[in-house]
Amino acid sequence: MASHDGDGNFRAQKMILAAADLAAALIGTTKACPIDECLPALTDHTHNKIYDLRQPGQAVLHIGLVSSQYRIAKLETEIRAMRLALSKGTLAPDLNSLNLFPSENSLFETLEPDLEQIKITGQLPQLRNFQQRLHNAWIKSLIADDGRALGFIQSFPKAR
């Protein structure tokens, strides 16, 4: 019985961490720290890791999480551009920072090979790379938008 209680506590802990992960992704602000730093238990690669990506449901949730991070980052960038346009009194926002983000097609292109590999390794390496590219693009867009607001930066090259 004691081992069952331990499993129940571990499952409850995993549920709390998963909920915190989703909440951080969905309501995160531009000041939110990366998930790896805020919730290190989510990136623990021991037997206690939060996601067992060999389970189809958890793999789908993880893919959904990365997809929501992608959408949120682009929406935040659009909102910053609209705020800057309003503050300058212009009608059309400068959406050049959106060019820094990887394309939606690149997200879908990462999934096919990863879904084959997940059966064997339980890992999504291409999606992890996409997630890192997304984070880097988000940081570049923050720099570009702030530079544009201050008048230092006119444009950034388009992401591949």
Reported as a single tens digit per residue, the pLDDT across 54-112 is: 777 778 888 888 888 999 999 999 999 999 899 888 888 989 899 999 998 888 888 88
Are 27 and 60 members of one domain? no
How far apart are alpha carbons 58 and 50 in whole angstroms? 9
Question: In which residue are the tokens 């929501």 written?
Answer: 68
Are 80 and 4 members of one domain? no
Are 78 and 155 members of one domain? yes
* Residue 156 DSSP label: -
Q: Which pTM was predicted?
A: 0.63
Identify whether the C-beta of residue 127 lies closer than 8 Å to the C-beta of residue 110.
Answer: yes
Are 24 and 99 members of one domain? no
- 111: containing domain: 52-160
Number of structural domains (the chain) is 2
Are 34 and 106 members of one domain? no
Torsion of CA 93, 29, 68, 40, to 10 degrees: 150
Confidence check: pLDDT of 132 > 60:
yes
Regarding predicted confidence, which is higher, 133 or 51? 133
How far apart are alpha carbons 121 and 45 in whole angstroms? 13
Work out the pLDDT band at 30, boundaries 50, 70, 90. Answer: very low
Are 10 and 64 members of one domain? no
How far apart are alpha carbons 154 and 16 in whole angstroms? 44
Are 39 and 59 members of one domain? no
Are 65 and 120 members of one domain? yes
Are 12 and 69 members of one domain? no
Are 33 and 75 members of one domain? no
Cβ atoms < 10 Å from Cβ of 51: 19
Are 59 and 90 members of one domain? yes
